[in-house]
Chain A
Amino acid sequence: MSDATKQPKDPQRHSTYLPAEKKSTKAFHATPMLDQLESGPWPSFVTGLKRLAHENNMMVDLLGQLEHSYKTRLGYWKGGTVSVFGYGGGIIPRFSEVASLFPESKEFHTLRVQPPAGNHYTTKMLRQLSDSWNKWGSGLIAFHGQTGNIMFIGSTSENTQHFFDEINAYGFDLGGAGPCVRTAMSCVGAARCEQSCANEHRIHRTLVNNFIDDMHRPALPYKFKFKVSGCPNDCMNSIQRADFAVIGTWRDDMQVDQKEVKKYVAGHGRKYTIDNVIARCPTRALSLNDDDTLEVDNKSCVRCMHCINVMTKALKPGKDRGITLLIGGKRTLKIGDTMGTVIVPFMKMDTDEDYEKLRQLAATVIDFWAENGLEHERCGEMIERIGLANFLEGIGVEVDPNMITHPRTSSYVRLDDWDQEAQKWIDRKKPAAVQA
């Protein structure tokens, strides 16, 4: 199939390597089903687990229990209550229901640890984290879980504290588990991406590190997630997966390098450019001029990013950059899926005051939801229940037509205060008109 299936050059330094010497004292369980996942070109997690089982008895029995799950097609872990001193969450406790068969892995807890913003590591730090975990846990680490944590998988109740003490001393802290503010995520962003419209890392850390108490001591209605993407490509999946999504954007004209546009058209052809750039614009804001330069109707552009993704040298976000905030994204449970909806169409993120404004807004949202959300009700579900207008009033944000796809279509509504509400809009618009 490919090079990966050929005999490795150096079998000692290959993903298929198994040590000759077995240091664990417990005999291996037969794992005929898992063994079938050792072949094939993709690196095998089973071979990885077996390497660990050569080192420690916990992983010998873990492999036994996993094989048991493969045979019976059922899971055998139950939750419980485990945390470290001073915290109420951050650990996913796992106790085996089949501990009589696999006693060495009867406790197999996961510590959720917050990665550095942007998931950057030096090899030195990766090795250090691995060494610490090898000392106090199973040695198995997932980079990263779906919430964004480093998942240190497989520890006894006692060793969770020792491990935490060790890594906490060199700068790592637990993430969220349970009804609390969860570990946040941010894209690589400004560190390595020309499409970045904000300092994702600073926004990420400003938000989550300000609610660290709400993370470590779960007392909210349910989980609350922050995710930060530097542009509308939303590599952090924030609109769908975050209660509080921050998306970098711009409000002036997109930057166009017409020389590069011409080069692109010359290289790819007019037809390709029209089919893949011009015709794919969702608001028909693009037009290819007869001289192969690009005309952009910036007032109609919705900042979808498509043309910028295609013509990476010719097109760029504008220079007047900031963020859009969307609130209330989540998956199915309980009312069905909700995407986050626009709450703030645009805000600048240049000064310390801007960051403070963002932090305060997040605090207001969390406070309002903590006060009004039902048990196990995500922020988006609460908004669905009470209506967006009531939510906006609760957090002190004015209505804006950017928040909707279209105005209401149903006439079943009371409009008693229409004139006052219309006046609010007129008053809000006045200063802008005067300035203009």
Chain B
Amino acid sequence: MAQAQAVEKKQMRTPIESGCPDGMQYMHPLMIKNFGNWKYHDRPRPGVLHHVAYSGDEIWTVRVGTQRQLGPYEINLLCDIVDKYGEGFVRFTIRSNLEVMVSSWDKVGPLIQAFNDAGYPVGGTGNSVTMISHTQGWLHCDIPGTDASGVVKSLMDELYEEFVKEEMPNRVHITTSCCQINCGGQGDIAINVQHTKPPKINHDLVANVCERPSVVARCPVAAIRPAIVNGKPSLEVDEKKCICCGACYPPCPPMQINDPEHSKLAIWVGGKNSNARSKPMFQKLVAAGLPNNPPRWPEVAAVVKKILYTYKKDARDWERVGDWVERIGWPRFFELTGLPFTKFHIDNWRGARNSLNASAHIRF
């Protein structure tokens, strides 16, 4: 037995703990040559960046929207285009756009044409609606309330023109998240699952599957306590206290939080990661109770478009969604978008008093 184990071990390859690879080895030669010595940039057309170095070198970047989940067909198709019309060097943005770098303006047109001919849009730069940041959803997550790729595909179909044009007041970052953990992150507009009913507990499984003290500790409002149910050790939830956040579900899958009917979608606006103008901002709840309605989530798309086009019409140049609302005020936001304002918009979590209007500053 011991010998068998030794043989087994010998066959196992020891990993090389190389960590994060050096990006330099895959970088466009002009980027290596001018590393840290760029002078300025402009955007000759939507989807194209033009950077000029102090050396006088210029580089053009064509930004391409993809479905993010790529197979060998898509990878080879995209790489064939880059090899034929580009120079063999690419990178990905944080929002899953493919960027192709070339050393000459003459190459930009044919490259864009080739991507468009293959069904891939060029855009996502400057004041456009860029690719929606993406989670995994039903395709791969263990706790998803909805899908991710499908929501993104259906929304990007609707917002296609806004991706390929630059007609927004400023950039628009939309995010989606399949649970309240919010892996999609902060967004100008964020679409997140919001559960509305406490978890349904399968008491037969809790004792075997869940480390009960950790689950009790996980609850943000201390609504979970150990209990004996049907003679078995389990957990129970004080449903009056429960805020239906789903935090107990990952460490304890028998506490099913997802519900086809009662797991709803909520829309948040005004999240901003950049420090430009105002400090980074968290997104704020504006709409909720939207049905989780695959395959195209039309009710969600309708609210997103309503907010987006109200912003497009009413915001001034350079105002992100959050900047715009800070100028016009929340009463006007709800008036212009036609979204109902409810008691649920008033925060009651820790620090909530900071979000109340303690002044006579009122817009009429």
Residues in A lying within 8 Å of B, measured CB to CB:
1-4, 8-10, 13-17, 33-34, 36-37, 39-46, 48-49, 51-52, 62, 66, 69-70, 72-79, 84-87, 92, 94, 108, 110, 114-127, 130-131, 133-134, 139-146, 148, 151, 153, 161, 164-165, 168-169, 171-174, 183-185, 187-188, 190-194, 196, 199, 201, 204-205, 208-209, 212-213, 215-216, 232-241, 247, 272, 275-276, 280, 282, 302-306, 309-310, 312-313, 316, 331-337, 339, 374-376
Contacts and interface: CB of A to CB of B under 8 A. Distances in A.
Contacts of B88: 122-124
B25 A116 contact: yes
Interface string B73-95: 11111011011000011111110
A213 B276 CA distance: 36
Contact of B22 (A10, A117, A196): A117
B116 A4 contact: yes
Given A72-B260, A194-B51, A205-B19, A331 B217 contact: no
Interface stretch (B33-41, B103-111, B233-241, B329-337): B33-41
Interface SS of chain B: loop
A333 B75 contact: no
Contact of B69 (A8, A118, A142): A142
A127 B76 contact: yes
Among all A-B residue pairs, the 10 with the closest Cβ atoms:
A40-B157, A15-B119, A73-B260, A209-B19, A69-B138, A232-B275, A123-B79, A194-B38, A42-B156, A116-B23
25 contacts: A13-B117, A44-B67, A48-B73, A48-B74, A86-B12, A114-B20, A116-B26, A117-B23, A126-B75, A130-B72, A139-B72, A141-B71, A143-B68, A144-B96, A146-B183, A164-B15, A171-B21, A233-B274, A233-B275, A233-B276, A237-B186, A241-B273, A310-B318, A333-B247, A335-B350
B211 to A, nearest CB: 10
Contacts of B289: none
Contacts of B99: 188
A194 B39 contact: yes
B27 A118 contact: yes
A71 B147 CA distance: 12
Number of contact residues on B: which range applies? 35 or more
B66 A43 contact: yes
A20 to B, nearest CB: 14
A312 B117 CA distance: 33
B47 interface: no
A40 B140 CA distance: 24
B76 to A, nearest CB: 6
Given A117-B23, A126-B79, A205-B22, A280 B318 contact: yes
B161 interface: yes
Interface stretch (B224-232, B290-298, B304-312): B290-298
Interface centre among A45, A62, A142 (most CB of B within 10 A): A45
B335 to A, nearest CB: 24
Interface in B120-166: 120-121, 133-147, 149-150, 153-154, 156-157, 160-161, 164
B313 interface: no
A116 B92 CA distance: 11
A42 B164 CA distance: 11
B311 to A, nearest CB: 17
Given A116-B22, A232-B276, A236-B94, A42 B153 contact: yes
B316 interface: yes
Contacts of B71: 48-49, 51-52, 130, 139-141
Nearest to A169: B16
Given A66-B138, A84-B15, A234-B274, A119 B23 contact: yes
